[in-house]
Chain A
Amino acid sequence: MLKTKSGSYTLLFIVALLALSTFLGLEKPEGASVAVFLAPEVLFHIGSFPITNSFFWSIFLSLVLMAGAIKLNYSIKQQPGSFQNLVEAIIEGGFKFIGTLNRNEKQAKILFPLVFTMFLFILSANLFAFLPGSAAVTFDGSTLFRSVMSDYTVVFMLTLVSIVTAQVVAIVANGPIGYLGKYFNFSSPLAFVLGLMDIIGELSKILSLSFRLFGNVFAGEVLGSVMLFLMPFFLPLPFMFMGLLSAVIQAFVFSLLTTIFITMAWEAPPPKESPVAT
């Protein structure tokens, strides 16, 4: 697959970085136990507001993304440099992909910024977890860095953004009466029960969407630390490669499902005489 010499050098470099990161992870003062934290650790308080390590890193990541966007915005050129070229390629690919999901180009243009920002944020949050040596940086005894998506509150809020947007879009597209009529349908007993089932379906979207992302990232972290505990330095490496793969795929799947939910909500209500195909 890697035909060029520089490509194989890059691969070697990545392997060396990963090995180094596991080595640095060994120096954590853990003793002989597997450390699993479900809740983020509180670093310090501002007033009575606790600053946790995942909050700190999500703010930091947002600032990095914003700084990149602002820098690009001011240095945008007719003949793009390497950074602008890269970003343009990524954004064009993303827009084309959303175009295949939502055929309506006007809707795709409105939808794209939200979904793509989600994708970039989740992707950078997941990939920063593989930064070598990040586990060695501590503040007051707790690690300064925490993989942001392994904190359930962050994932839950992202999911709420996507689900609430889908519901608002459905209300705007169908009108308030049509929106309520979708769930409280009095035309027949069967339709009424099916409408109530739809409410449960909408609520379960929140759980399934958030657990999918959270579970993958959190399980990857736990798997890594257990493997590190069983046999340090070499055993975690294949799991880290799998983690890199799932980091990209989960970011992709989250934004893909958000796109699909919003697109489904945006569709015009089906005409009365045709049976509803689901």
Chain B
Amino acid sequence: MDVESARLIAAALAVSIGGLGSALGEGMIATKAMDAIGRNPEIQDKLGPLVFVTMAITESTAIYSLVVSLIILFV
């Protein structure tokens, strides 16, 4: 395997494995938020910003792996 194909495979592996965890985590956050809104619909306004913030924090691991794979690909 030459270096070029190894780089492509490495970038794909980095972003796919790295994205897996944060995808699961964001799904959990969304499920819990929907549960809470279903139980108490008045809380929706208060919950919205919190959900966005926690999702953005959970997403950061996926972003790290995306940055790593972009660096592998383009630098």
**What residues of chain A have their CB less than 8 Å away from a CB belonging to chain B?**
36, 38, 208, 211-212, 214-216, 218-219, 222, 246, 249-250, 252-253, 256-257
Contact = CB atoms under 8 A, between A and B. Distances in A.
Contacts of A256: 53
B56 A208 contact: no
Secondary structure at the B interface, as helix, strand, loop or mixed, is helix
Nearest to A212: B60
A215 B63 contact: yes
A249 B49 CA distance: 9
A155 to B, nearest CB: 12
Contacts, number: 44
A36 B74 contact: yes
Interface string B56-75: 11011001101100110011
Contacts of B53: 249, 252-253, 256
Given A219-B66, A253-B53, A256-B53, A38 B60 contact: no
Given A249-B52, A253-B53, A38 B64 contact: no
A257 B57 CA distance: 10
Instruction: Please classify how large the interface on chain B is, using the bins under 10, 10 to 19, 20 to 34, 35 or more.
Output: 10 to 19
B70 A36 contact: yes
11 contacts: A36-B70, A36-B74, A211-B64, A212-B56, A212-B57, A214-B67, A215-B64, A249-B56, A252-B49, A252-B52, A256-B53
A103 B63 CA distance: 32
A55 to B, nearest CB: 21
A138 B71 CA distance: 25
B63 A211 contact: yes
Contacts of A216: 56, 59, 63
Contacts of B70: 36, 218-219, 222
A182 B67 CA distance: 34
A51 to B, nearest CB: 23
A129 to B, nearest CB: 17
